[in-house]
Structure formats: C-alpha cells, structure tokens
Amino acid sequence: KAGVTQTPRYLIKTRGQQVTLSCSPISGHRSVSWYQQTPGQGLQFLFEYFSETQRNKGNFPGRFSGRQFSNSRSEMNVSTLELGDSALYLCASSPMGQGSQLETQYFGPGTRLLVL
Amino acid sequence: LAKTTQPISMDSYEGQEVNITCSHNNIATNDYITWYQQFPSQGPRFIIQGYKTKVTNEVASLFIPADRKSSTLSLPRVSLSDTAVYYCLVAPNQAGTALIFGKGTTLSVSS
C-alpha cells in the first residue's frame, strides 16, 4: 500500500498570503489528522477529520482551517500567513480513528512551509 | 490528558541496548502508552504500543509496571540508523484522539 502523501513538499510564501496544503491518506483510511511542528513548540495537533467532519480541534487560531473530501483526502488552509507559521506541517491517517484500542497513526513526510 | 516526562537526550554506542524511560504519573484507566520515532525532516513513525506488562515486536520492547505510572522503551542492539527523536505518548482510546507530543528524547548512537 502506498503511504501517506503530502503535497507540496516545500513551499515559500510571504506574510499575508494564504496557503493550501494537501494530504492523501493511506487507501482505506478514513481519519486524517494535521500537526504543526516547529523547533520551539514541537509537534502540535491542529485538527482531525473523519468522514468529512471535523471531529477534534487543537488550540490554533481560526486562520487555520481544513476540510476532508469524500475520498478521505484532506486539505488544510492557512490564511493571512505570519512569520511564525513557518513550520513542518504533518498529516497522519488511521483506519477509523476509533475503537477499543488506539489505532496507529501513519504520518506523511510533511510539507515544509517557509513564510518570508 | 496525562503529562509525560522523558529525558531530553541520551547517547549510546552501536550494539548496545538502550532503555528510554517515560513517566506519566496521572495516567488514566483507559489510557494507552505509545512510542513514536522521528528522523529529521520526516514524519513520526509508530514503534510500539501497550497498556500493561510487556509488549514486544520486531523493533522494540515496551515495559509497563503494574502501577502504569511509567514505561520503558527498550531498543536492543542499536545501530547508527536508530539515531532519532523518540516520543512517549499517553492517550485515551477515544475516537479522534489527538496525539499530544512532548519534547521527546533525542537518541544519538555513535560507532
């Protein structure tokens, strides 16, 4: 099975712009989560989607949004970019995102965003 | 959510066994303990998960004492390629659970 894919892998934007990142989960996986990783804050949870619905949300401003399509692919959008948004954005998928035992989350390689 | 504490860094040599301990004093009854590994510029990779006692897979072993207030990830005979950041996570078995990553332990393996 192909792993989680994220596009683009690298991106350079300027302050005030907006950006859309894409994530294709492993085939058959229905839960997609997004994380932001920075040297200062580490890995932080952004949000999680399951069956096109946002089911969980981290503590990020409303400039960060996302959506999930019927084929489980997901996009996240950041509007009005700030310098502090420079980070590695990681997407992770899991089969159902629920159950009697935690399911493994499979992470993609990430999109490295640089805001100038 | 249970807070985890693990050493910031550890050093080892090739061929040695490495044990990384994580403390999680306020772990809840339905929390599971999961370890992830992350190489630079890559996403984290699942290593092992457990609830109590001992779990072993082809990569590592996880030891969890009866009180579950700590856990130890054991990597047998490490190699240079095991140099990475190791994260200990504690999370409940709820749908859509967010993984809360701490600072992790940076393991450096030398020859």
Contact A31 B96 (CB under 8 A): yes
pLDDT at A100 over 60: no
3-state secondary structure of A53: strand
Q: In whole angstroms, what is the distance from residue B102 CA to residue B87 CA?
A: 7
Residue B98: closest C-alpha in chain A: A45
CB atoms within 10 A of CB B91: 20
Flag whether residue A105 sits within 8 Å of chain B, measured between CB atoms.
Answer: yes
CA A80 to chain CA centroid, Å, is 17
pLDDT tens digits for range B13-53: 999 999 999 999 999 898 899 999 999 889 999 999 999 99
pLDDT at res. A99: 46
Q: Give the side-chain half-sphere CA count within 13 A for B24.
A: 31
Average pLDDT of the residues in B56-66? 95
Query: Smallest Cβ distance to A102: which of B91, B100, B102?
Result: B91
pLDDT tens digits for range A4-18: 999 999 999 999 999
Tell me the two tokens of residue A34.
Answer: 């997004």
Contact B99 A110 (CB under 8 A): no
Q: In whole angstroms, what is the distance from residue A5 CA to residue A109 CA?
A: 7
CA B23 to chain CA centroid, Å, is 10
Q: What angle do CA B2, B92, A2 make, to 5 degrees?
A: 115
* Preferred mutation among B97, B103, B106 to probe A, highest tally of A CBs within 10 A: B97
**Chain B, 15-44: which have a CB under 8 Å from a chain A CB?**
32, 34, 41-44
CB atoms within 10 A of CB A80: 11
Residues whose CB is less than 8 angstroms from the CB of residue A84 and which lie 6 or more positions away in sequence, other chains included: A38, A115
Which range among A36-45, A70-79, A101-110, B94-103 shows the weakest confidence by mean pLDDT?
B94-103
pLDDT tens digits for range B65-109: 999 999 999 999 999 999 999 999 998 766 667 788 888 999 999
Average pLDDT of the residues in A80-92? 97
pLDDT at A78 over 80: yes
pLDDT at A97 over 60: no
